[in-house]
Amino acid sequence: MTGPRTRRSSRYAIRSWSSNGPAFALRPTDRAALGDVTSVALFTHVAKYQARIVADTIFGKPRRADYTAIPRVEIRACFLGHGSFSVADLAGYRGPKPQHHGATCEELREAAGWIRRRSTQLHDECRDAGVPYVDVGEVGFQNAMVEARRHLLGPG
């Protein structure tokens, strides 16, 4: 069988036939998985690059990977909490999503207690992980926003 006809299977596409047999081409989804085995810079774009190198090697054009210019992202985090949040704080909240309207005093007390407990838990987790934590109750809302911005974007 000869000609430019393409037959597909779940793993590869046969691009053409010649007297030497079929000429195979790996499908893009298969090629992308080939690069994941190296554990070098586990980014999708790096795995696809590595897959092209593996495919070239399989098809007789070996080359080495060059990792000198890998685009990457630095992820920063800063958590805000309020370790001294009170019923009065919750009742006085006038922000964009006031969810306390119509709540009983007991419901407000329960919600404020949950916020304090969760803030303490977050504070401890951030300390253990080395991640910044800003307590709004200690520094005030405006200062907390400035401090969080500094942690996230750097000084300036």
- Banded pLDDT at 73 (limits 50, 70, 90): low
Mean pLDDT of the chain: 76
Q: Where are the domains of the chain?
A: 7-58, 79-153
Q: What percent of the chain has pLDDT over 90?
A: 18
**Regarding predicted confidence, which is higher, 57 or 33?**
57
- Residue of 116, 51, 44 whose CA lies nearest to 81: 116
- The arrangement of strands across the sheet holding 12-18 comes to 7-8, 12-18, 21-26
For residue 3, what is the DSSP state?
B
Residue type for position 135: D
Dump pLDDT digits (tens) for 27-53.
555 444 565 666 677 777 888 888 888
- Banded pLDDT at 74 (limits 50, 70, 90): low
What is the model's pTM?
Answer: 0.49
- Residue of 111, 104, 107, 115 whose CA lies nearest to 137: 115
